């Protein structure tokens, strides 16, 4: 299924799930901007919060809008968890229901 770029999966803020491979790549690329945002987040039970003040982070900080479609501001170097996500593969995706109805 082709992604409809609704941005809902980005509300899960998958940047917090970056793996060591992602961190190493960002270090090599000199992406201190990404590493810094990664460092200032932490899981607090079932939600991601900012370490500086504890506010709940509602979406990936790299979710941007191009008119009425979602986009990733770091698409070329996005985390592996985002690269591996298959549209329709999880209940968070609106295409999931469409996919299960086709089966």
Domain boundaries, the chain: 8-102
Question: Is the predicted pLDDT of residue 80 greater than 70, yes or no?
Answer: yes
Average pLDDT over residues 35-62: 81
How many percent of the chain have pLDDT more than 90? 46
* Mean pLDDT in residue range 68-95: 92
The pair of structure tokens assigned to 69 is 């479609």
pLDDT category at 6 given cuts 50, 70, 90 is: very high
How far apart are the two ends of the chain, measured CA to CA in Å?
13
- Strands 47-50, 69-72: pairing kind: unpaired
Taking the whole predicted model, whether its pTM rises above 0.75 is answered as yes
The answer, yes or no, to whether residue 102 has pLDDT greater than 80, is no
Q: Which runs of E-coded beta strand occur in 3-97?
A: 41-44, 47-50, 63-66, 69-72
């Amino acid at each position: 299924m082709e992604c409809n770029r609704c941005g809902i999966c980005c509300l899960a803020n998958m940047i917090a799930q970056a793996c060591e491979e992602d961190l190493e790549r960002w270090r090599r690329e000199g992406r201190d901007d990404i590493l810094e945002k990664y460092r200032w987040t932490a899981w607090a039970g079932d939600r991601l919060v900012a370490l500086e003040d504890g506010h709940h982070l509602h979406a990936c900080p790299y979710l941007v809008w191009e008119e009425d479609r979602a986009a990733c501001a770091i698409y070329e170097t996005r985390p592996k968890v985002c690269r591996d996500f298959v549209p329709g593969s999880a209940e968070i995706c609106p295409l999931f229901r469409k996919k299960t109805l086709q089966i």
